[in-house]
Chains A and B, each alone.
Chain A
Amino acid sequence: MTGEASKQISTAELWGGGRSPFSISYGKMYMWFFLISDALTFSGLLVSLGVMRHKYSDVWPDSSHVFHAFPFTGPDTNLPLLYVALMTFILIVSSVTMVLAVEAGHRMDKKGVTKWLALTIVGGLFFLLSQVWEWSHFIHGTEHGVWEWMDGTRANLVDGAGNLVAKWGDGITLTFLDGRESLTGAAAAAMLESATQVYGANLHVNEYGHQLYADFFFFVTGFHGFHVFSGVVINFIILIGVMKGIYHKRGHYEMVEKTGLYWHFVDLVWVFVFTIYYLL
């Protein structure tokens, strides 16, 4: 990048007053300062997730066992983390189209900015729809669910072939998740009387394991998803400005650069959410 920031200027002149020592416009600088404050909020969420994950590390669910479904492929799909990886890839690509829009703006190429910014919005919308699918899948849960007792004991129903099933019947075994001895027949049926069947997750129950795992899923990906949503809205407003030629008349496309900073930040946060929530 050329521009004021890469010019050779002596320190004495740079810091001598009458100019910004950072050689940066106030709008861009304040976007950076806003992003730092926003990054602190996300850090707070992710560090508290880390604290709970460490505190309950013996009972915390393994994300590759929770997120292994794929849209339109039926309930038996076992593709661990693949859809989340695809979402990550799409967000990275939309970040790339954004930086290409900024680059086109530096060449005053109005057509290029319009094209790349529109593609960025498409990528953002795709990510949001994927998020909706993932939430819906997480909330509805598996077809077999899990049985839960008041004291936190959990069990699955397993048929003769070793498959998990939803309904109690002949030849079905009650298998406890904490490793104690399985029950069959009348003993299991009596035990099931006091249990409730849990499907999926919300803020009160969580089929997949510890309750906080579901809570953090909703809070962290929800807060990030809201950022993606507002990013798409802001990008759309800027796209209208680009198409009307407002920034071309102004002589520079810095508005695209500023909304670009925000959009890259959303991608940056997702990189951390992906690692800390899904991988670690």
Chain B
Amino acid sequence: MERDDIIEYSLDAHHSEEEGVKIRKKIYFVTILLTAITAVEVGLGVWWHSLGLPHTMVQYAFIIMTLVKAGYIVAVFMHLGDERRPFLITVVVPYGLFIAYLVFICLNEATTWMESRILYNWLF
């Protein structure tokens, strides 16, 4: 049965040739950016010892570069940046808050675990 009270949002997603050129330009820009960040990450991973950089700083740099990459993939490749703002918030905020809390609490706990492991010379 045909229903005329349902809006077919998917039929509305088309764009013209000129807009396509602009969108492709953006896609190629993001491609180069992601490749460059990956190259920097690998270079840092291989040479940070000989460059004499502090390990903590290198680790934070890795995490920041990864989050930048993830942001571009989600916003541009997955088009989340083009969706309506309430949808973006629905997807990103609950997940992001939960994971930020989980990472914080678990890594804190694990560091204490490691310290007592070494302090009391546990075998496990």
Which residues of chain A have a CB within 8 Å of any CB of chain B? Answer: 1-6, 14, 18-25, 27-29, 32, 36, 39-40, 43, 47-48, 50-58, 64, 80-82, 85, 88-89, 92-93, 95-96, 98-100, 102-103, 106-108, 152, 251-252, 254, 257, 260-261, 264-265, 267-268, 271-272, 274-275, 278-280
Contacts and interface: CB of A to CB of B under 8 A. Distances in A.
B106 A50 contact: yes
Contacts, number: 182
A251 B14 CA distance: 10
B73 A271 contact: yes
Contacts of A1: 13, 15, 23, 79, 82
B120 interface: no
B14 A271 contact: no
B53 interface: no
Contacts of B98: 40
A36 B93 CA distance: 11
Contacts of B99: 43, 47
Interface of B: 5, 7-17, 19-20, 23-24, 27, 30-31, 34-35, 38-39, 41-42, 44-46, 59, 62-63, 65-66, 69-70, 73-74, 76-79, 82-84, 86-87, 90-91, 95, 98-99, 102-103, 106-107, 109-111, 113-114, 117-118, 123
Closest 10 CB pairs of A and B: A54-B110, A254-B10, A22-B87, A51-B110, A3-B13, A1-B82, A275-B66, A85-B42, A4-B12, A25-B9
A80 B48 CA distance: 13
A17 to B, nearest CB: 11
Binding site secondary structure of chain B: helix
Binding site secondary structure of chain A: helix
Contacts of B66: 271-272, 274-275
A57 B114 contact: yes
B4 to A, nearest CB: 12
A267 B72 CA distance: 12
A279 B109 CA distance: 22
A178 to B, nearest CB: 14
Contact of A89 (B8, B38, B44, B82): B38
A82 B62 CA distance: 16
A260 to B, nearest CB: 8
8 contacts: A1-B82, A2-B12, A43-B102, A47-B99, A81-B42, A103-B27, A264-B73, A275-B62
Contacts of B19: 2
A66 to B, nearest CB: 12
A51 B109 contact: yes
A3 B9 CA distance: 8
A280 B62 contact: yes
Nearest to A112: B20
A80 B9 contact: no
Given A25-B9, A55-B113, A6 B82 contact: yes
B98 to A, nearest CB: 8
Contacts of A32: 87, 91
